[in-house]
Chain A
Amino acid sequence: MLINNFLLLGAVLFCIGVYGVIARKNAVMVLMSIELILNSVNINLLAFSMLHGNVDGNTFALYIIAVAAAEVGVGLAMVLLIYRNRKSISLDELSEMKG
């Protein structure tokens, strides 16, 4: 089935993204991984939108793309500020939130 291929692609991308978020030390890489996750969701939405034959999913995907762009903007700005303060964006050294 065509739809299965889409869903599989989405799942694979999602897993890669999750792996990246958990395993990577570099903040930029983590942000990129988050993008992967979001886009895997987009693929799922589009696949189901196609399956059901209406455009709601497409609309959602567009919204997600817009929101993701904003989110990356904020994320990168934070990374930049962190780098400015600490001269490093390694996430291992960031434990300010330690309880």
Chain B
Amino acid sequence: MLAHEHEAAGWFLEHAWLIPVIPAVAFAIIIGFGKKLPMKGSEVGIASMLASLVLAVGTTWQWVQRVDAVHGSEGEGALARGVFGFARGLVPRAAEGGEPYVEPVIRSWTWWQSGGIEFGLGQHIDGLAVMLLLLVTFISTLVQVFSLEYVRGDRRYTHFFASLTLFSAGMLAMVLAENTVQLILGWEIMGLCSFMLIGHWWEEQANSRAALKAFFTVRVGDMGLLVGVAILFGAFGTFSIQETSRIAMDPATSQTVLLWASVALFIACIGKSGQFPLHTWLPDAMAGPTPVSSLLHSSTMVVAGVFLVARLYPVFYNGFDIAQNGNSANLIAIIGGITIIIAAGLAFVQNDIKKVLAYSTVSQLGYMMMGLGVGAWTPAVFHIFTHAFFKCCLFLCAGSISHTASHHSFDMKKDMGGLLRRMPITAGAWMVSTLALCGVPFFSGFFSKDEIIDNADHNGYKVFFIVGLIGAFMTTAYMTRATYLTFFGTPRGAAAGEHHDEHGHADVHADAHDAHADVHADAHAGHDVHGAHDDHASHGKPAFGIAGESPILLVFPLIVLGFLAVVSGYINAAPFHIEKFLEWVEPRASEFAPKIDHAVFTWAKAAPSIILVVLGFVISLALCKAVFGEADSKLKGLTQRNRVLGAGHRFLVNKYYLDDLYEKVIVHAVAYPIAQAAYWVNQHVLDGIVNAFGKGGRRTGEWVYKYVDQGAIDGLAVNGSGKAARGTGGALRPLQSGKVNQYGALLFGAAAIGALVLVIVNI
């Protein structure tokens, strides 16, 4: 297809660059005038996200038409594909390699020039970009709607919406980046905004520390991005993503260059996408307001790293030699695999509901990375898509619970429990999303996660196949634990505030939680816990006549996302031979993209993961009932009694001691020797030199003092000049009047004399 082809691409595809521009402009408006607007700037943010969403929908629509047009021109197979693609399974998959490549819509403008190098800004619209544009605008819109209620009355309400909008703009700018420089631009905008948003309540030191930690940890990885882009530019002489992909696919390109570039770029992805060993910032980022966590962890920030790998896939694909069957390990897959297991392990010991979700995100990002690492491009990208909906929903559920039920606490063990009946909509959305996350058949997560696991096996990565299965087991287990603690059992702490029949609990928590103890008191006396708390009185009202459910603005996004957590998978449901996602998003084998091999789905192959999911559920439920339930059980306090289990528990609670490793060992190991070496050099080398000079100087000085100073200088020069100076000083003293005008007159007088001299000399 030729370059002029894009002229016929349609208005939305041509103008997709507007999608990030609108929120960026909105950011400026909110910052500039937000406080004067009736809704404090939030309306501008939401309006801009809606406008972007409309554009993104239009872009998607035209992209689908474009893909279909290309396929239609192919002629054969178009009929067999059918209207809804149901019949597509009849076409043998092997034929996909021969399908035509759908040309991306690329536009570029010069941003600036330096030394003959042009830096462009532009758009590179292909299936991947379109998918993420739609996803990011959609999720951002819902999150902003959710925030309307959630941060109402916050002292930095306007700034919150401004940062949120700019954050989305950064992600969108990165998603449709035409070249790697624009990619860095969007990447860094997100880095900055994540810092602002995580530290939104910076008055508490823990929050500002978390923001700094997120920023610096990601920063460590960002070095890799700069280095990787520089390597690619140095080797290929272009920033353009399409050109880079083409050269990377060229068999003549040196694999060493690709390897180093991909290692450097992958380090950036490790930082941004919270992969092991730089995942430590992500759970701490929970310090930010819940909508921020939701946005960060579903469709923006953390997906950026996965997106980078997916976007420059030819570089990684050939750099790490992913295609080679039997070459059963590479950096991406290994890091992804380790991340799945490690993060899932950590999720078991968290008491904070948001931290469970945070580690779950890390683990799911591990799946995406592993998918890319084992050559399962399409399932990995599809997992970005499905994961965004259910993870966003889970976070918003957590926000809804803490906002309405548990008085801004996120502690599952102390302040939640038994919320199922009280918040049926939130609970329903949570359950559905959890099922999707666990990969239960017929929910969206199943279709993406299972594809990744299946393809790992198919492409000869046996180890990662097993890792994926273990991950699925662990995911189900920790999510069961979180669900049990939150929605079942007896209400505890703040959540128990409304339950008048739970008398036994007041004394249990009275000592541990003074604050919550008086919640109990209020509840017993006043029969309305919300009435007792003035700050909650306004937004604690029941919605839809269901006592205790969150207000409509909080619940509406939950319903939408919960619905999508179920249905979004059906866009690419292998068991039903629906492969629309594959058709629309996957770049076909060509000079720009590697050929992606797909495993054929069979229920027999899906069986192990389903069995493990069920097993995980059953075991975890049994353990939860035993450990957290009412009945007394031998398992209670087992970690305190059994030394081995206790050690394991402690190991997990301390996050594998990774934070300690970084702060105490690495920072000390780097900083201390440097400091000590500097001190040694200071003491021995520099001081020695100084001392030697000093001694030599003293001897010289003594000699000089005796003969030169005393004799010649003192007598003549010093005393003489001193007297002269005193005389002059006395004579000139009147000049130093301290009067500014006089000084000015002197200055100009002198200048005039100088000018006269110059004139005379010149003549």
Contacts and interface: CB of A to CB of B under 8 A. Distances in A.
A13 interface: no
Given A18-B748, A21-B748, A22-B748, A98 B741 contact: no
B738 A23 contact: no
Contact of A91 (B733, B739, B745, B748): B739
B738 A95 contact: yes
B700 interface: no
A91 B740 contact: yes
Interface in B731-745: 733, 736-741, 744-745
B739 A94 contact: yes
B741 A95 contact: no
Contacts of A94: 738-740
Nearest to B747: A21
B240 to A, nearest CB: 36
A74 to B, nearest CB: 15
A98 B738 CA distance: 4
B741 A23 contact: yes
Contact of B741 (A25, A96, A97, A99): A25
A95 B738 CA distance: 4
Contacts of B744: 18, 21-22, 30
Interface residues of B, number: 10
Interface residues of A, number: 16
Interface string B723-763: 00000000001001111110011001000000000000000
Interface string A75-99: 0000000000000000110111111
Contact of A97 (B738, B745, B748): B738
Consensus secondary structure, chain B interface: helix
A95 B737 CA distance: 7
A27 B748 CA distance: 17
Contacts of A99: 733, 736, 738
Contacts of B741: 21-25, 30, 91-92
Nearest to A23: B741
A25 B267 CA distance: 67
Contacts of B737: 95, 98
A28 to B, nearest CB: 12
A98 B741 CA distance: 13
A72 to B, nearest CB: 16
Contacts of A27: 740
Contacts, number: 37
Interface in A34-78: none
A26 B194 CA distance: 52
Contacts of A91: 739-741
A31 B651 CA distance: 70
Contacts of B736: 97-99
Nearest to A14: B748
A94 to B, nearest CB: 6
Nearest to B744: A21
A31 B733 CA distance: 27
Contacts of A92: 739, 741
Nearest to B736: A99
A50 to B, nearest CB: 23
Nearest to A17: B748
A30 B738 contact: no
A12 to B, nearest CB: 15
A95 B748 contact: no
Nearest to B746: A22
A24 B739 CA distance: 12
Contacts of B740: 27, 30, 91, 94
Most buried by A among B733, B738, B740, B745: B740
Most chain B Cβ neighbours within 10 Å, of A27, A96, A98: A98
A30 to B, nearest CB: 7
A52 to B, nearest CB: 19
Contacts of B745: 21-22
A60 B330 CA distance: 59
Contacts of A25: 741
A91 B745 CA distance: 14
Contacts of B738: 94-99
B587 to A, nearest CB: 50
Among A21, A22, A23, the most chain B Cβ lie within 10 Å of the Cβ of A22
Given A18-B748, A21-B744, A22-B748, A95 B739 contact: yes
A25 B742 CA distance: 11
Contacts of A21: 741, 744-745, 748
A88 to B, nearest CB: 14
Nearest to B743: A97
Contacts of B733: 99
B749 to A, nearest CB: 9
Interface in B546-594: none
Interface in B219-253: none
A13 B745 CA distance: 16
Nearest to A95: B738
A26 B738 CA distance: 15
B538 to A, nearest CB: 46
Nearest to A96: B738
Closest 9 CB pairs of A and B: A99-B736, A95-B738, A98-B738, A21-B744, A97-B738, A22-B745, A91-B740, A18-B748, A22-B744
Given A24-B741, A94-B739, 4 more contacts: A21-B748, A22-B741, A22-B744, A99-B733
Interface of A: 18, 21-25, 27, 30, 91-92, 94-99
27 contacts: A18-B744, A18-B748, A21-B744, A21-B745, A21-B748, A22-B741, A22-B744, A22-B745, A22-B748, A25-B741, A30-B741, A30-B744, A91-B739, A91-B740, A91-B741, A92-B741, A94-B738, A94-B739, A95-B737, A95-B738, A95-B739, A97-B738, A98-B736, A98-B737, A98-B738, A99-B733, A99-B738
